[in-house]
Every structure is written in C-alpha cells, then in structure tokens.
Amino acid sequence: MKLTSSIKQLQDAVGKVAQAIPAKSIDQRFENIHLSIEPGALTFFATDGEVSITARSEVETSDSGNIGIRARALQEFLRSMYDTSVSFSIERQEVSEHGTVNIATDKGRYTMPCLFQAKPEKHEKNYDISLEMETGEMLDIIQKTTFACSVDGMRPAMMGVLFELEGDLLTAIATDGHRLVRCRKDSSLCMPEKLKIVVPSRVLSILQKLAQTETVSMSIESERKFVRFNCGSIVLDAALIIEPYPNYEAVIPVEHDKQLIINRSTIYDSIRRVGRFSSIGDVKVQIEGAVLKIMAENTNEGESAVEELACNYTGEDISIGFNSRFLEAALAHLDESEVSIELKSPTTAVIFRPHLEEKSDRLIILVMPVRINN
C-alpha cells in the first residue's frame, strides 16, 4: 500500500486523535493509532476504551487497508519534521500480521514497524437526539463549567458536567461541593421533557482542543450511555457518567437579602493580593455601608493585609470568610465589568452573577463560605 500527503496534514490529524491515547496503559490495543486507508482518504482512529477520536484526511492513494502504528513513535516522528510532502509505502511480512512502514521525504528515508489488522470495531449506536451549537457557545460552556468539576474519584458524577435539555434551553451544571456553576444557553431543540446527561470533564477538555469549526453538534445515544461530538472531519465519541447527579437545585439559595455590586477586576485584583498573606488561603470579607474590606493574616510569619474598596451595597453589615482561590476562580469566569454578589448570612452560599439584567440568570457561580476566626 502506498499513499502521499503533507507532513502538516498528518501532524494535525495525529495530534488530534492522540489525545485519546492514555498516558499509561497495560492494554497494548490502546497504544496504537489505527490508520484506515481507502482511495483518496486516510482515517485515523485512537481510543482508550472509553473515549475515541476519529479524524479524516484527504491523501493521494488508490489502495485500501488497515494498519496500526505505535502512537508515540508516530507522534515523535511527525513533531520533529518540517512541512513537506511525504510518502508512505507499507509492506507486510510473509505469513505474519507484522509489517513495515517506509517513509520518504525530500531529505530522508525512515522506517517504523506496523501491525496489519482488521478495521477497529465500532459498535453502531442509535443517536436519537442531536443538538447543533455555534462553536463559541459550546467553548463558553466548557470554559465556564469544567473548572468547578470535582477531581475526587469517590464522587464520579461530580467529575463531569451535567447537561439538562428542557424546552428550548440548555443548562450546564458543575460542582465539587464547595462551589457550583450553572450556565444556560439557548438550544436548537425543543425538548418536551427534561433530559439529563453527565459528560466527563476530561471529554469536554479534549473537545475544547478539537473544536475548530464554526459549529459543533452533540448527539446523544438512545440508551443515554454515550455522547458524540462532531467538529467537521473530527468525531469524538465518549461514554457518559451513569451515576445520578446530586440535586444541585437544593443548594442554590432562593432568597438573599444583601446585594453587593462592584467592578469585577477591582475586587479580583484585591483578593489576589490580600489572599497571598493568608496562612491557609482564606480571606475575611467585611462589608459596612459603602465600604468593602478584604483581610488576611499569617500569624506564624507576622504577616497581614487589609484593603478597602468602595462598593454599592444594600443590606445589613456582614462579615464572611472565603477560600481566596475559589473567589478568584469565580470572578475570573465572569466576563462583564461589573458583578453582582448576593449574600444572606456568614454560613449561606453566596451567588456571583453578571450585573446585567438580560444576562443575570444566564450564568451564576455559587461559592460556599468558610468559618473565620474573629
């Protein structure tokens, strides 16, 4: 079998599918990138058993066949190359599944082993629901939710993002028990009944790197066990998290009697500075009238910091403690120049949202307070 392409084409395709290759694997089936050759096209496929990526590229060939090449070897070769035309000549050893890939460019000749094999099995699934979104909207969901996913393997559902489809609305939720994000977008579907799926955060992080087309389609398998994302010539298939997601609505406070409106970058920068002076990473926030105080101390080192900011505040004075990193992350994932911070008591979850009426319900970030020493 022979084929001709460009190094850049192969770099792009291999770089995308290789994201499904596990860093460490005891199963050799998952160490290879599979190449399916057919007249005029080359399809790359890689999987770790739960996530699989397929990329299709146009090449010059009139042959057909299927081989596997060790992913690391192919990646390292392509990474080291400059963009030029490249030819692959694939030869099979007699009475064996093993073979050799002879690679030729304008400057060199290279050889690497391969394995002749059947086309990778793909169990056909029935995807009965398909949602198409602008890529920017999908990437916005990913960027605003995955940071709040749990990394605790004891709580598998919280290691993913919950997608809820109901009516013409798509709601994405992520939480690690200390903070929660709810992001809403308009949907191209109109679902008569609520549908819930949990997509692993790792899958969404991979999608973030793959999505380079104008639109992304998300298809859900009829048994609600698998999801597929299509981005032009790239297909990402993944198993969903089947564990039931916690009742997140129960932890979102319904009523707050205190509201703080402040410039986002001003309070973000202040928390970053003051938080560095805390021995355990916590800051104390005190609001009295139109003055917001942010305080931290490290008694072991004799360090402390206090900053005062002007703010627009309604409600009784309050002192409340936070993990400074959680505050930074919440403010970093709000885009608007002014934010609304809603409070109730020193032990009640605090809600951050854009201070724009038309966007105020589209994104909320909830942060749980911490106990502070007076």
pLDDT in tens, 303-347: 999 999 999 999 999 999 999 999 999 999 999 999 999 999 999
243 and 156 in contact (C-beta within 8 Å)?
A: yes
The set of residues, in sequence order, having a beta carbon less than 8 Å from that of 318 and lying 6+ positions away, is 258, 286, 287, 343, 345, 346
41 and 57 in contact (C-beta within 8 Å)?
A: yes
Q: Note the pLDDT of residue 271.
A: 96
Q: Note the pLDDT of residue 280.
A: 87
**CB-based burial of residue 224 (10 Å sphere; 0-12 exposed, 13-18 middle, 19+ buried)?**
middle
Query: Pick from 280, 288, 299: which is nearest to 371 by CA?
Result: 280
Sheet holding 318-323, edge to edge: 303-310, 291-298, 282-288, 318-323
| CATH number belonging to domain 258-367 | 3.10.150.10
Q: Note the pLDDT of residue 212.
A: 86
| One-character DSSP codes across 213-232 | SSEEEEEEETTSSEEEEEET
Q: How distant is the alpha carbon of residue 339 from its chain centre?
A: 24
> Which residues does the chain have with pLDDT short of 50?
none
Amino acid residing at 263: N
Q: Whole-angstrom Cα distance, residue 66 to residue 48?
A: 19
Q: Note the pLDDT of residue 30.
A: 86
CATH homologous superfamily of domain 127-168+186-247? DNA Polymerase III, subunit A, domain 2 (3.10.150.10)
Q: Whole-angstrom Cα distance, residue 84 to residue 80?
A: 12
Q: Whole-angstrom Cα distance, residue 10 to residue 82?
A: 12
Q: Whole-angstrom Cα distance, residue 345 to residue 263?
A: 22
- Could you tell me which CATH class the domain 2-116 is placed in? alpha beta
Q: Where in the chain is the domain with CATH 3.10.150.10?
A: 2-116, 127-168+186-247, 258-367
Q: Whole-angstrom Cα distance, residue 194 to residue 203?
A: 23
| Statement: the pTM of the whole predicted model exceeds 0.95 | no
The set of residues, in sequence order, having a beta carbon less than 8 Å from that of 188 and lying 6+ positions away, is 131, 132, 133
Using one digit for the tens of pLDDT, what is the confidence trace for 66-90? 999 999 999 999 999 999 999 999 9
Give CA torsion, residues 296, 299, 303, 305, to 10 deg.
Answer: 20
